[in-house]
Structure 1
Amino acid sequence: MGAQQLLRAAALCIASLAGIANGALDFESVQLQDKDVSAFSAEEFAKGDPPPQSSDKLPLCKAWPGNADWPSAVEWRRFNASLDGALLQPDPPGEVCYQGPDYNAAKCAYLVNNASSNHYYIDDPINVLTQWPEGNTCLPGLNVVGNCTRGGFPYYVVNATTVKHVQATINFARNNNIRLIIKNTGHDFGGRSVGAGSISIWTHHLNAFKFLPSYKRGNYYGPAAHFGSGLEQYELFNQMFLNNVTMVGAGFRTIGANGGWFASGGHGNLASLYGLGADQALEIHAVTADGRYVVANEDQNSDLFFAFRGGGPSTYGVVTSVIVKAYPPITTVQSYLSIACNPPPDTNARATLAPLSNVTNYVNDTSRFWDALQIYFKYKQTIVDAHGVDWDYLYPLGNNRTSYSFRVRTTFPNVTTTQAIALLQPLYTQFAAHGFNFTLNTEEMVPQPYAGTSVTNPATLSSLGLTQTRYRSRLLPRKNWASDTVFNQTFAAIRNSVENGQYTLHGLGYGPSNEVAGYPGRTGAVNPAWREAVLHIALVTSQPIGLTAAQARDEESRIQGYFQAWKDVSPGAGAYMNEGDPGEANWQQSFYGSHYPKLAAIKKKRDPWGVFWATTTPGSEAWEVKSVDGYPHSQNGRLCRTGVKRI
């Protein structure tokens, strides 16, 4: 176990033993005091009314390193001293691959060959898993050319281990007009955890946990858990083992258990049974743009309690901890289906084009392959209505429009194997009626604890590695399954984007309705489109390295042509921002629906200074990134106000 993992384990253990003092986790009891501010005025709390955001007296852009508006080296040293040395200026990990004083062949080889199979990137204070938003300025590689530059990575990082660190950083950034970003694990596909010329609050070590056997809040009475915003999903799963409970969590173990996942809704394997991650919150603790530590629930700061639960990340404040509902322990039963159509005969080609291992069903006719998939996609509503969730990928194999691979995992919570078989058997009966000899493998359908097995060595957890992934997604509503005509149109749009567009498709069937969300989930800011959804579906692409800005815009235009067909068959529906397009047209409606006006008003009230900013979040229209590389939606550039004229 590495130093980072030891630090996290020790912090989690100490905080759990310390318990909760006055409703706060131990690290939340360490707060910025008046004596701290009097000693260093740059950390003063906000006071008085700020000028209107449209005022021509305000700086046009955020401060920039090297410019006169950037704090001096002396001020940065004083700031670091006030944080007890928590201020970091880390280099991009890939720097060791570039010729220069930091070149290290062995470390570079490790990054390229090993770092993706362990916890390395998750524990890095600066890196995010998706590289294109920061400008691809320092990619690791064995034979790289050019120079490594910081690009869209933050200039400074504060390794926050107390609320005081969070408060001081917010105040320092606001008072010095510095761009502020928030990062935990770096599971970010849209560029919301990076930003050129910024200071980053790294919440990764705010990972305390406290189990509450009996908790009362409003209409809820029962077990709950209070944990920090840096807790990872594997740590939450481990706590479920220790306390013999179930809590709603993300599907991948290195995703933060709240953070950005939680702030935009947060789906997982229990979405059709208990709702989304945001639906679980009973109370939220945070630091707002004025630097104040607040507690938000139905009775106090109710506007923030609404907004934090699905209203977008990095927008209203820095969440430090949440209290969520806990449920009795449950098991899940999973089933797998895989279908390949005309896979390439070359084993090496098959391995590089798409995962084809353990495929159990083959179809040699392309038209028949699509017939089989249409049967399955129509059955998704039945799976969702049984509180199930499915997770599928559809890959074009090559560029010949005849070869494909489809893989899906279906999860049913709180059922027996016999019940799960009964739920799926009608699907396979339909397959057989259409001449498909697909067999339901009942031997693999053994009930397993929802949390799986405990993780004793987090270094073994894959970080997924660095990617160039881009998503464009849609939450297809129940009405698209209401008639054969509408469903056939929907499936035709899906097929066209894969068959003729040659894009990878990722789909998740689930139904986090208002009824499922329960109390108080249904009163949060979760996009109303979730409540009608049967299928979250995404087109997945990779932005190639070396793509020019013009080529990127051309590719964007091409994929939008296929994506528009999805919108045409689902008018008024929305999308999941965490796996959505940062270039989404009319993103206010797509990501937030009818809640957007209320969320924008809360943002304006709570952050009139514009301290927090992330792309496609409420109020973000007031700012834009002046990208230095010209790539659409890149964060490699200075953050400046929009619509402000200078005479």
Structure 2
Amino acid sequence: MKIVPLLLGFSAVLGTCLQTVYGAASPQEWKRLGESLQGRLHPAIPLSAPCFSVVNGRNVQRSESACREVQQGYTKPDFRFTAASARMNPQWETCMSTSEGCLLDSLNPNNSAAWAGRDCKQGSVPPYFIEVNDPRDVQKAFEFAKKTGTYLSIKASGHDYKGRSSMPGSLSLWTAKLRSMSYSKTFTPEGGNKAYAAVTIGAGAITEDIYKFADENNVTFIGGYAQTISASGGWVQGGGHSVLSPVYGLGVDRVLQFKIVTPDGEYRTANQFKNQDLYWALRGGGGGTFGVVLESTMSVEPAMSIRVASISVPSNTENAQRFLSLTINETYKWNQEGWGGHMTSVSLINVNPRLTLKEARESVKTITDFALANNGTSVVEDLPSWQAFFQKYVLSAQAVVGQPIILGTRLMPTELLKNDSGKNQVLNFIYTALTKYRTEPYIILGAPTLYNYTEGTTSVTPAWRTASFQLGGSVKYPWNSTVSDIKRIYREVTERVQLSRVIAPNSGAYTNEGDLYEPDHEKAFWGDNYPKLLKIKKKYDPEGLLDCWHCVGSRGPTDPRFSCYLTLL
């Protein structure tokens, strides 16, 4: 990126900022850390800084060329992935509680109102980051944090929807450059004697590359629904749902081994035979808290063809209500048939690796007939591989980036769909979200409904094992929203999610996409697994060097490191 050399010119500014941060190291200590890392410690400024003439209170030379590059890539995930200071949801580059940040207008990145006469503030962007190359880099970071009291944060690709990879004044461990990939037909976890077909991937390897690599080796990798998800990071550690999960399980069900540096400084192998407690914790306990994963190994499936149903109707109130009613009515049947996918009020893109094309067309006939009778479209086709599906459908349908987006979801139990009363409760919630909260529903068929799970082998909420789908929605807000505006939106999201808690009180939520202000997050994200997770956290991180929002063992929102999160009360 052209903006990388520009970062070095801001080191003096950053040094000044760091001295005012709670628990920060001295400039001399930062200098010594940089020398020990042989050039892998870098200053960081917000992604949009080149567009501004004032950065962190200092007058600087605005860079037209670097700004133009940022503007062109502002809403592109592959661009944001390459910048240590960028997050896919850019509110996590700001300090929301004070409105300090450095955002462009995501709807028009050329809008000069975003930078004219404005000070680009550091916000929640960590002012220094280590470009992690090997375990020693992480070990030095833990030593530094222990000695100086500097906070640590961990970032791979920036798909964290809760800001856990950001923290003002922290030292960021950026693992995006660890993009190695290898395939073995006979991978055996260390200490074990059973072999698996598996891929071993670095912490920075992204799904687009992994899918291509797997396809070249005639296998299928079960992963997320976007091109720049780092599969070894928060995706798998938080659960890892996929549209192929109904048949092949969650990411945590498929991970065979982790390589991780724990806060005590040890580089460990965690699998079924070594550090079994840590292995269990990493299979759902969430990223950013038990250590820094440098690589993981996951089992793969043989190459497979996939049936795809892409159906939509014109967007209007009547179509939405009828389409939703039909899809909710069909969902239990689809669960039993192995469908996975994404559905809105007027569209769906579902996949099935089990049914024949004839069976697939018959399965979705009710929805197809409705769509075609109402000026909609329906394509039910056979594609030769997951890679073919990914290229044709996912790249154009993945979540928006570069714009502040708030998520709030809940896992909906399969039991609700077995009778009309339960279905009506789900539909009433969705209609309320559409009308009162103006939120487009988003239904993800990504629960492991047909997967043969061995109870107790992972630490995600047990609610995943009895769920039919994940139900939620997202709300976007403008780059120049006030603190009070943002608070109001977060409150509305929490109110909306509360309605889903009422109809599914004993269920749970996916850590990365649940309500930012989940009232009982320990139960919602981990259920009865939380006490055991907390014990493991204290074992491997007794000094609490790692802490993040709603993570296992967190000190809670009153801790100074979370000062940029909003207080809604």
TM-score class normalised by the smaller sequence = 0.7 to 0.9
Letter in 2 for 1:132: Q
1:376-412 Cα shifts (integer Å, max 9, x gaps): 1221222222111120234xxxxxxxxxxx2211111
> In the aligned structure 1, how far is the partner of 2:531 from the partner of 2:179?
33
- Check 1:629–1:86 CA distance in 2 against 1; reply closer, same or farther (3 A cut): closer
Give unpaired runs (5+ residues) of structure 2: 4-16, 54-58
Give the CA deviation at 1:230. Answer: 1.1
Q: Distance in 1 between matches of 2:298 and 2:49?
A: 40
2:211 matched residue in structure 1: 237
Whether contact under 8 Å (1:83, 1:165) holds in the other structure is: yes
Change beyond 3 A, Cα 1:525–1:153? same
Cα RMSD over matched residues? Answer: 2.9
Letter paired with 1:491: L
Q: 1:516 aligns with which of 421, 446, 451?
A: 451
Structure 2 vs 1, CA of residues 198 and 147 (structure 1 numbering), >3 Å: closer, same or farther? same
Give the aligned partner of residue 43 of structure 1: none
Shift in Å, 1:294:
0.6
Deviations 1:589-628 (A, max 9, x none): 1111111111111112221111111101111135645466
* TM-score of the pair, normalised by structure 1: 0.76
1:618 and 2:552 equivalent?
Answer: yes
1:474-513 pair list within 5 angstroms: 474-513=410-449
The corresponding residue for 1:531 is 465
The answer to whether the Cα contact below 8 Å between 1:229 and 1:322 also exists between their aligned partners in 2 is yes
Deviates more, 1:536-545 or 1:311-320: 536-545
Give the C-alpha shift of residue 584 in structure 1. 1.0
Separation of aligned partners in 1, 2:400 and 2:425: 35
Letter in 1 for 2:402: L
**C-alpha separation in 1, matches of 2:266 and 2:134:** 13
Deviations 1:340-361 (A, max 9, x none): 244xxxxxxxxxxxxxxxxxxx
Residue 375 (structure 1) aligned to one of 310, 326, 338: 326
Q: 2:348 aligns with which of 408, 430, 453?
A: 408
Whichever residue aligns with residue 477 of structure 1, its letter is P
Give yes or no for the alignment of 1:333 onto 2:292.
no
- Residues 166-185 of structure 1: matches in 2 within 5 Å? 166-185=138-157
Choose the corresponding residue for 2:25, options 65, 71, 74. Answer: 71
Residue aligning to 1:310: 284
Question: 1:165 is matched with which residue: 122, 134, 137?
Answer: 137
**SS in structure 2 of the partner of residue 446 of structure 1:** strand
Say whether the 8 Å CA contact 1:116–1:463 is kept in structure 2: no
| Greater length-normalized contact order (CA 8 Å, ≥ 6 residues apart) | 1
Three-state SS of the structure 1 residue aligned to 2:518 is: coil
Structure 2 match to 1:568? 502
Q: Deviation per CA, 1:257-289, whole angstroms, max 9, x where unpaired?
A: 220111110111211111111111111110001
State the distance in 2 between where 1:462 and 1:412 align. 19
Q: Percent sequence identity over matched residues?
A: 25
Distance 1:629 1:81 in 2: 31
Partner deviation per Cα, 1:15-70 (whole Å, 9 max, x = no partner): xxxxxxxxxxxxxxxxxxxxxxxxxxxxxxxxxxxxxxxxxxxxxxxx96346953
Give distance in 2, aligned partners of 1:445 and 1:463: 23
In the TM superposition, 1:148-227 aligns within 5 A as 148-217=120-189, 220-227=194-201
Structure 1: gaps of 5 or more residues: 5-62, 343-365, 395-405, 634-647
Say if 1:279 and 1:522, in contact at 8 Å, map to a contact too: no
Judging changes above 3 Å, is the alpha-carbon distance between structure 1 residues 583 and 510 closer, same or farther for their aligned structure 2 residues?
same
**Larger CA deviation: 200-209 vs 67-76:** 67-76
Task: Give me the whole-angstrom Cα distance separating, in 2, the residues matched to 1:305 and 1:495.
Answer: 41
User: Match for 1:631: what amino acid?
Assistant: L
- SS, match of residue 558 in structure 1: helix
Give the Cα separation in 1 of the matches to 2:422 and 2:469: 14
* AA in 2 matched with 1:209: M
Q: Rate the CA distance shift 1:462–1:336 in 2: closer, same or farther, 3 A.
A: closer
CA distance in 1, matches of 2:503, 2:139: 46
- Preserved contact between residue 19 and residue 26 of structure 2 (Cα < 8 Å): no
- Give me the whole-angstrom Cα distance separating, in 2, the residues matched to 1:560 and 1:258: 29
Secondary structure of the equivalent of 1:164? helix
SS of the residue aligned with 1:516?
Answer: coil
- Higher alpha-carbon Rg: 1
Bigger shift: 370-379 or 468-477?
370-379
1:454 deviates by: 9.6
TM-score normalized with structure 2 length = 0.86
Q: Give how far 1:453 is off.
A: 8.1
The question of whether the paired residues in 2 share the 8 Å contact of 1:548 and 1:631 is answered with: no
Cα distance in 1, alignment partners of residues 212 and 367 from structure 2: 35
